Amino acid sequence: MSKIDRPAFEAQTRLPGLSYDTIRQVIRARAEEHDLPLLCDGDSEIRVHTTYGTYGFRPDRDASLVQITSGREDWLYILKESLSHTVSELAPDVGAAIRWSDAAQSAGNLPPNFQFITIEGVTRIPGGFLRVTATAEDLSQFTPEGIHFRLALPPTDLVDPQWPSLSDTGLTLWPKGAASLHRPVYTVREMDMASGHLVFDIFEHLGGRATEWARSVTPGTKVGLTGPGGGGIPEVSDLAIYTDETGLPAVARILEALPQDARIEVLFQMTDPVSLDYALPSHPGARIERRPAGDRDLADQAIADLDGAADRMVWLAAEKLIAQKLRAHFKSSGRSAKDHYIAAYWSRTADSAAEG
Ligand SMILES: Cc1cc2nc3c(=O)[nH]c(=O)nc-3n(C[C@H](O)[C@H](O)[C@H](O)COP(=O)(O)OP(=O)(O)OC[C@H]3O[C@@H](n4cnc5c(N)ncnc54)[C@H](O)[C@@H]3O)c2cc1C
């Protein structure tokens, strides 16, 4: 029996002022965009199934009711957060009025997808990366569908770090001001679920707060981790990968996981020549090209390759403008990006542009 038939966790909220017709349109569009199955779609109910559980919406006079069910408490929380985010973008007043039915019992707790990790050590590995080894409390949520996480790093000079907690309406309260947490995304490079052993690789770049943290952190330090989120290992047999350094740990996971008969073309465009030496696992069907940054960026290259390989999945991890360029191309050429992975892994700021 699937999780959908026997949900262990459930939460509801009213969305005051948000009509059923409006939310139904939004859910239909999301389901279409992310290829999610609609379990029913009628005048009295729409239900959509996701990797983490099921959303159901019903009309309630001038409002809508939403019920979320999931097989795991942390997944239920991820779905609640995602809905709050969507609704707040659509109608901030409605987002602020969300009151989750299970909020009272969890008020004051850490969010269910938050855990502490204890740093064991940091070593410099070839390719300009810092390899961080840590012990996590629970890695069971990190499946091939979810290989990324966020660190939650308090300011290094803060003697008494603060951590997030759940409010009495079920929202997450993050420390603010001088106690704000830096929350960059990383990829699980290696893990052992039984022991909690976790390894991730941080690309060293100028001005990076995570880089600075990793250079000075001492064994035994506890920091926060939330996740998973941000995608996983694609289940395909024909894949074209376009990446800079930030995608290399994920590419390594993909090369390790895809079957021997898969065909994988990797174009790795370096922002720094030192990254040439980052070790990628061998795969019999993979062809890996390492190239310095040039006139043609990763989006241009992916666009140039698209016409020759319409059925191949495109996987791109790069700077935000490059990811946006490829997404815009998909849109303007009438192609759906639904079966592809196009992700902004970092954004160049005025500071980083000046640094080169
Ligand atoms: C799904 C996902 C998975 C990721 N996995 C990894 C991973 O496994 N390893 C990894 O190293 N990164 C990974 N990243 C990228 C990482 O989250 C970003 O590079 C992040 O900005 C790093 O935070 P920071 O604290 O180092 O830099 P910040 O303090 O956030 O930024 C400081 C400055 O550094 C610049 N900057 C940020 N990233 C880079 C870069 N790569 N090169 C040059 N300048 C940069 C910014 O523009 C800014 O000016 C991943 C991102 C995503 C979305």
CB 163 within 8 A of CB 153: no
pLDDT attached to residue 53 = 94
pLDDT band at 232 (very low <50, low <70, confident <90, very high): very high
Please name the residue that has the structure tokens 């987002």.
95
Q: Cα(294)–Cα(289) distance, rounded to whole angstroms?
A: 14
H/E stretch holding 117: strand 114-125
pLDDT attached to residue 339 = 87
Q: Cα(43)–Cα(25) distance, rounded to whole angstroms?
A: 12
Report the atom number in ligand 1 closest to the C-alpha of 129.
Answer: 11
Residue 271 DSSP label: S
Peptide bond into 7 cis (omega under 30): no
Mean pLDDT confidence for 186-203: 98
pTM higher than 0.85: yes
Nearest CA to ligand 1 atom 27: 208
The residue whose CB lies within 8 Å of the most ligand 1 atoms, and thus the one to mutate among 185, 212, 243, is 185
Alpha helices in the chain (DSSP H): 20-34, 73-90, 92-96, 103-106, 209-216, 248-257, 298-306, 320-332, 350-355
pLDDT attached to residue 6 = 57
Residue 182 DSSP label: B
Nearest CA to ligand 1 atom 37: 346
CA 11 to ligand 1 center in whole angstroms: 34
Q: Cα(56)–Cα(2) distance, rounded to whole angstroms?
A: 17
pLDDT attached to residue 230 = 82
Nearest CA to ligand 1 atom 4: 186
9-101 and 238-355 agree in CATH topology: no
CA 97 to ligand 1 center in whole angstroms: 34
CA 99 to ligand 1 center in whole angstroms: 34
CA 254 to ligand 1 center in whole angstroms: 20
CA 346 to ligand 1 center in whole angstroms: 5
Q: Cα(256)–Cα(317) distance, rounded to whole angstroms?
A: 18
CA 353 to ligand 1 center in whole angstroms: 14
CA 3 to ligand 1 center in whole angstroms: 35
Is CATH 3.30.310.50 what the domain over 9-101 is classified as, yes or no? yes
Q: Cα(202)–Cα(185) distance, rounded to whole angstroms?
A: 10
Q: Cα(170)–Cα(162) distance, rounded to whole angstroms?
A: 19
CA 29 to ligand 1 center in whole angstroms: 30
pLDDT attached to residue 33 = 79
Q: Cα(86)–Cα(254) distance, rounded to whole angstroms?
A: 30
Amino acid (one-letter) located at 341: Y
Chain segment 24-63, per-residue pLDDT in tens: 999 999 998 778 999 999 999 999 999 889 999 999 998 9
* Helices and strands, number each (H, E), in the chain: 9, 19
Residues contacting 324, CB < 8 A, separation 6+: 344
Burial level of 45, CB count in 10 A (0-12/13-18/19+)? middle
Q: Residue 175 corresponds to which tokens in the numbers above?
A: 């420390």
Protein residues with CB under 6 Å of any ligand 1 atom: 148, 182, 184-187, 200-203, 205, 207-211, 230, 245-246, 249, 271, 343, 345-349, 351-352
Q: Are strands 165-166 and 46-50 parallel, antiparallel or unpaired?
A: unpaired
Mean pLDDT of the chain: 93
Domain ranges of the chain: 9-101, 114-226, 238-355
Report the atom number in ligand 1 closest to the C-alpha of 231.
Answer: 1
pLDDT attached to residue 255 = 98
CB 253 within 8 A of CB 147: yes
Mean pLDDT confidence for 214-232: 94
Is CATH 3.40.50.1010 what the domain over 238-355 is classified as, yes or no? no
The residue whose CB lies within 8 Å of the most ligand 1 atoms, and thus the one to mutate among 246, 269, 278, is 246
pLDDT attached to residue 34 = 79
CATH superfamily ID and name for 114-226: Translation factors (2.40.30.10)
Chain segment 258-290, per-residue pLDDT in tens: 999 999 999 999 999 999 999 999 999 999 999
Report the atom number in ligand 1 closest to the C-alpha of 182.
Answer: 25
Q: Distances in Å between the alpha carbon of 85 and those of 42, 333, 337? A: 24, 30, 22
